[in-house]
C-alpha cells in the first residue's frame, strides 16, 4: 500500500452507498470522511485536507460538476467522479472539468479501490498532470493558451483570427468529428467573447471556413450537416 | 386536375368565371335590345333602293350634298361614272345578291369586297374580317354606278371601347388581385402543412409565427398547432425526465446491491450476483438509449465503424467466446455518422444474441454503394421465416417463456432495431448458409463535403 494513512472524502447523497464504500475503504486501511452534499463538503474541508475526494455527479443543491470546477479552481486535491450516467459525454465533460478519473455506477468495491490507488500513486509522483492545450490538425496547430494558430509547413506564418473566431475554432478542435448543434456551439463559446453570438454562429462559421480554406485550399474542414449542425471533419492530435 | 389547384387559384377561377358570365350576359342584352334584324350586318335592300332613287332624281349639284348627308364611316358612298366595270358577284354571295336585286327594283347589283382602304399594317386579314365590309355596286338608271361600302364594326361604348371590354378588363384585374390576395391569405396554411410535415420527435419542433394579418380561422389553426406542439414537447420532456429519474434511482439501488454482494461468502454465488446486476444495468441502459434515440437525443460523431466492430469482437474473444470477423475490401475505412454508444450497443447486442442462442458469431463487414453492411451469422437452429419480423418487435422472443436461462426480457433486437433506424439504417433477419440465423444491418456511410 503506497499511502496507508491516506484520507478519503466521500461526497455522496445516498447514505447507504456512502456507508458501504466507507466501510470497505476503512477495511482497506484508509481514513474516510463522508459528506452528503456540497455544503457538508465545504465544512469538512475546513477541518481537514483529504488526499482524494470521491465525488458523486448528481447531488442535491450544487451538483458534482460545479463542485469539481470550484475545487479545481483553487486546489489540486485529486477527484474521482462517480456518475449514474454511462454516456461518454459525461466522461469527457468530467475530465474537462478537472476530475482525475471517473467511475460509472454501479461499481464494484475492488474497481473503486484500484482507481483510488492509481490516482493516489499519480498524485504522489508528478505534482500535477500536464494539461495539453495544443492541438494539431490538417496543416494547423492551435495553441489554446497563447490563443494562436500556426501553419505547420509554411515558414512560421500564423493565421490571423478574431477572438470570436478563435473561440469557435477552439470549440471545434476540442470536439472534433462530432456534430455540434448551433445551441451547443453557443453554450461552449459564450461567455468568453463579448460579442453577442446568437444567430451570428452561422456567419462566424462561414468566416472561419473562408480563412481556413484560404490558408489550406481544398481542406474543407467544417461540414454542414443536414438539420443537425456543424461537423469539424479533420482528425485532431494533441501535441506538446 | 381540379384537385391539384391551390385554394387561391380556385377562388380566382370562380371570380373569373363569374365575371365572364356577367360580360356575356351584358353583351347579349345589348345585341338583343339595340340591334334590329339584319341592319347591323348589311344595309337593307329598301334603304339602298331609296338611296338609289334619291340620287337618280337629284340634280347633279345636290348629289354631292346628298352623298354627304348619308355617308358615315360605316357607310361610304360614292358615284363612279359608267356602268361597265361592275365585277361579278362571287358564287357564295349569290343568294344575297338575288335578295338585293329583287329589292332594288330591277337595277343591276353586284356584291363584293371593298378595296383595302384602311388595311391594318399588322393584321391585314384579321382587320378585313373584323371590319365585316361589303361593297354594293348598283347600276343607276342615270347610267352611273353607285358604290356603297358598308362596314359593320363592333358597337362601342362612349369611351370608344367595344361593349363588354371594360367589364372584362375589370373582371380580369379583380381576378388577378384576388389571386394575389388569396395567395397571401393561404400562405400560412401552406407553411402550416410544411411545419406539420417536419414534426418528428427527433428534431426540434418548428414553431409557427402567428400570421397576424391572416383570417381568424387560419390564425386559430396555427395557434392550435403551436399548442399541440407545446404539449407534445412537454410530454416528451416529461417522459425523458421520468426515464432519467428511474434510471438514476435504479442505479443507486444497483450500486448498493453491488457493494453488498461483497459480503456473500460463496464466491460462485457472488459472481452470479455480479453478472445479474450487470445484465440488469445493461437492459436499463438499452431501454434508456432507445428512448433517447426516439427523442432525437443521440449524438452524432464520425465513427470508424470497422474499428468499433473489431473492438467489440476483441472484447468477447478475450472473454472466451467464439467470435470472428471478416472485413471486405474497402469496408475498413468506412465512416458512419452516429452515436458511439448506440452503435456499440447495436453490434454488442447482436453478437451477444448470436453467442447466447447460436454458440458462435461470425461477423462479416462489407461496403455496398453508400452503406456499410454487417451480417452476423450464428450456428444455432435458425429462425423460422414467419417469426423473423416478430423478433424485431419489443418483448418477442422465439421461446414464449420469459425465462432467465434462455435470455433477457426480449428487448435486445427491438432496441437494436430502434437504434439502427435512428441512424437511418435497416435491419433484417435471414438464414445463414450453415442453417443458423443471420442478422443483416445496413447503415449509411458518411461522406464529408
pLDDT confidence of residue B401: 46
pLDDT band at A30 (very low <50, low <70, confident <90, very high): very high
Highest mean pLDDT among A65-69, A183-187, B108-112, B381-385: B381-385
Instruction: Give me the mean pLDDT over the A90-106 stretch.
Output: 70
Q: Quick check: B329 contacting A, CB < 8 Å?
A: no
Q: Quick check: A177 contacting B, CB < 8 Å?
A: yes
pLDDT confidence of residue B443: 94
Residue A9: is its pLDDT beyond 90? Answer: yes
A·B CB contacts under 8 A: 72
Residue A12: is its pLDDT beyond 90? Answer: yes
Instruction: Report the alpha-carbon distance of residue A120 to residue A115 in Å, rounded.
Output: 9
Quote the mean pLDDT of chain A.
Answer: 81
pLDDT confidence of residue B375: 94
Count Cβ atoms below 10 Å from residue B192 Cβ, excluding itself: 19
Residue A77: is its pLDDT beyond 60? Answer: yes
Tens digit of pLDDT for each residue in B320-354? 899 999 998 888 888 999 988 889 989 998 998 89
pLDDT confidence of residue B406: 44
Instruction: Give me the mean pLDDT over the A146-165 stretch.
Output: 81
Q: Quick check: A188 contacting B, CB < 8 Å?
A: no
Q: Quick check: A109 contacting B, CB < 8 Å?
A: yes
Q: Which residues of chain B have pLDDT under 50?
A: 1-2, 401-407, 409
Q: Quick check: B274 contacting A, CB < 8 Å?
A: yes
Tens digit of pLDDT for each residue in A101-137? 888 888 999 999 999 999 888 876 554 545 567 888 8
- Of A168 and B189, the structure prediction assigns the larger pLDDT to A168
Choose from B289, B300, B305 for mutation: most chain A CBs within 10 A: B300
ipTM (interface pTM): 0.72
pLDDT band at A17 (very low <50, low <70, confident <90, very high): very high
pLDDT confidence of residue B200: 60
Interface of A with B in 23-82 (CB under 8 A): 24, 58
Cβ-defined contact of A106 to B300 (cutoff 8 Å): no
pLDDT confidence of residue A15: 92
Q: Which residue is closest to B281 within chain A, CA to CA?
A: A106
pLDDT confidence of residue B67: 83
A105, A179, A225: residue with CB nearest B255: A105
Instruction: Report the alpha-carbon distance of residue B417 to residue B425 in Å, rounded.
Output: 9
Q: Quick check: B337 contacting A, CB < 8 Å?
A: yes
pLDDT band at A86 (very low <50, low <70, confident <90, very high): low
pLDDT confidence of residue B148: 83
pLDDT confidence of residue B331: 83
**DSSP per position, chain A:** ---TT-EEEEE-S-HHHHHHHHHHHHHTT-EEEEESSHHHHHHHHHH---SEEEEESS-SSS-HHHHHHHHHHH----EEEEES---HHHHHHHHHTT-SEEEESS--HHHHHHHHHHHHHHHHHSSSPPPP-EEEETTEEEETTTTEEEESSSSS-EE---HHHHHHHHHHHHSTTBEE-HHHHHHHHBTTB-S--TTHHHHHHHHHHHHHHHHSTT---EEEETTTEEEE-S--EEE-
Cβ-defined contact of A20 to B203 (cutoff 8 Å): no
Partner residues linked to B172 by β-bridges: none
pLDDT confidence of residue A1: 46
Tens digit of pLDDT for each residue in B221-254? 888 888 888 888 888 888 888 887 888 888 889 9
A228 contacts on B by Cβ (under 8 Å): 300
Amino acid at each position: 500500500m503506497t499511502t496507508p494513512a491516506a484520507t478519503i472524502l466521500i461526497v455522496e447523497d445516498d447514505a447507504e452507498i456512502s456507508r458501504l464504500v466507507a466501510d470497505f475503504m476503512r477495511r482497506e486501511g484508509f481514513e474516510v470522511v463522508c459528506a452528503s452534499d456540497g455544503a457538508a463538503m465545504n465544512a469538512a474541508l475546513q477541518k481537514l485536507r483529504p488526499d482524494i475526494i470521491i465525488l458523486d455527479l448528481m447531488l442535491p443543491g450544487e451538483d458534482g460538476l460545479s463542485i469539481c470546477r470550484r475545487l479545481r479552481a483553487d486546489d489540486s486535491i485529486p477527484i474521482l467522479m462517480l456518475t449514474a450516467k454511462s454516456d461518454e459525454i459525461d466522461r469527457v465533460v468530467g475530465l474537462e472539468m478537472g476530475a482525475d478519473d471517473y467511475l460509472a455506477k454501479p461499481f464494484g468495491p475492488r474497481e473503486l479501490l484500484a482507481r483510488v490507488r492509481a490516482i493516489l500513486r499519480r498524485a504522489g509522483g508528478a505534482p500535477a498532470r500536464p494539461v495539453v492545450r495544443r492541438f494539431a490538425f490538417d496543416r494547423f496547430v492551435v495553441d489554446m493558451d497563447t490563443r494562436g494558430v500556426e501553419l505547420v509547413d509554411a515558414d512560421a506564418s500564423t493565421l490571423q483570427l478574431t477572438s470570436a473566431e478563435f473561440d469557435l475554432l477552439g470549440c471545434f478542435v476540442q470536439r472534433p468529428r462530432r456534430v455540434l448543434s448551433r445551441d451547443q456551439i453557443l453554450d461552449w463559446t459564450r461567455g468568453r467573447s463579448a460579442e453577442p453570438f446568437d444567430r451570428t454562429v452561422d456567419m462566424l462559421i462561414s468566416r472561419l471556413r473562408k480563412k481556413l480554406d484560404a490558408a489550406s485550399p481544398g481542406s474543407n474542414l467544417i461540414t454542414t450537416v443536414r438539420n443537425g449542425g456543424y461537423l469539424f471533419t479533420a482528425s485532431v492530435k494533441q501535441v506538446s | 386536375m381540379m384537385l391539384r389547384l391551390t385554394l387561391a387559384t380556385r377562388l380566382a377561377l370562380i371570380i373569373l368565371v363569374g365575371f365572364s358570365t356577367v360580360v356575356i350576359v351584358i353583351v347579349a342584352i345589348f345585341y338583343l335590345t339595340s340591334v334590329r334584324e339584319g341592319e347591323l350586318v348589311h344595309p337593307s335592300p329598301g334603304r339602298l333602293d331609296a338611296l338609289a332613287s334619291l340620287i337618280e332624281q337629284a340634280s347633279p349639284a345636290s348629289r354631292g350634298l346628298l352623298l354627304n348627308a348619308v355617308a358615315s364611316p360605316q357607310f361610304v358612298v360614292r358615284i363612279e361614272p359608267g356602268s361597265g366595270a361592275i365585277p361579278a358577284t362571287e358564287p357564295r354571295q349569290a343568294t344575297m345578291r338575288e335578295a338585293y336585286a329583287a329589292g332594288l327594283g330591277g337595277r343591276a347589283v353586284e356584291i363584293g369586297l371593298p378595296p383595302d382602304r384602311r388595311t391594318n399594317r399588322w393584321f391585314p386579314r384579321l382587320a378585313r374580317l373584323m371590319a365585316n365590309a361589303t361593297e354594293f355596286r348598283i347600276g343607276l338608271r342615270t347610267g352611273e354606278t353607285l358604290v356603297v361600302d358598308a362596314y359593320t364594326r363592333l358597337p362601342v361604348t362612349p369611351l370608344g371601347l367595344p361593349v363588354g371590354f371594360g367589364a372584362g378588363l375589370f373582371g380580369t384585374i379583380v381576378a388577378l388581385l384576388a389571386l394575389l390576395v388569396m395567395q397571401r391569405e393561404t400562405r400560412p396554411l401552406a407553411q402550416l402543412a410544411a411545419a406539420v410535415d417536419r414534426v418528428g420527435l427527433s428534431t426540434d419542433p418548428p414553431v409557427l409565427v402567428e400570421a397576424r394579418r391572416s383570417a381568424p380561422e387560419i390564425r386559430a389553426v396555427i395557434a392550435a398547432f403551436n399548442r399541440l406542439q407545446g404539449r407534445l414537447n412537454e410530454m416528451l420532456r416529461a417522459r425523458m425526465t421520468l426515464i432519467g429519474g428511474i434510471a438514476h434511482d435504479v442505479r443507486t439501488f444497483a450500486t448498493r446491491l453491488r457493494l453488498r454482494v461483497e459480503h456473500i461468502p460463496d464466491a460462485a454465488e457472488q459472481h452470479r450476483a455480479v453478472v445479474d446486476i450487470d445484465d440488469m444495468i445493461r437492459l436499463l441502459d438499452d431501454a434508456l438509449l432507445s428512448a433517447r434515440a426516439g427523442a432525437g437525443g443521440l449524438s452524432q460523431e464520425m465513427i470508424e465503424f470497422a474499428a468499433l466492430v473489431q473492438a467489440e469482437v476483441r472484447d468477447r474473444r478475450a472473454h472466451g467466446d467464439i467470435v470472428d470477423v471478416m472485413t471486405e475490401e474497402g469496408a475498413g475505412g468506412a465512416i458512419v455518422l452516429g452515436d458511439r454508444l448506440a452503435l456499440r450497443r447495436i453490434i454488442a447486442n447482436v453478437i451477444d444474441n448470436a453467442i447466447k442462442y447460436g454458440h458462435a458469431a461470425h461477423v462479416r463487414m462489407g461496403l455496398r454503394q453508400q452503406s456499410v453492411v454487417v451480417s452476423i451469422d450464428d450456428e444455432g437452429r435458425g429462425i423460422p421465416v414467419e417469426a423473423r419480423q416478430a423478433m424485431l418487435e419489443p418483448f418477442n422472443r422465439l421461446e414464449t417463456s420469459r425465462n432467465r436461462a434462455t435470455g433477457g426480457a426480449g428487448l435486445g433486437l427491438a432496441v437494436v432495431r430502434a437504434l439502427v433506424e435512428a441512424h437511418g439504417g435497416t435491419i433484417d433477419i435471414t438464414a445463414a448458409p450453415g442453417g443458423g440465423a443471420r442478422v443483416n444491418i445496413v447503415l449509411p456511410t458518411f461522406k464529408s463535403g
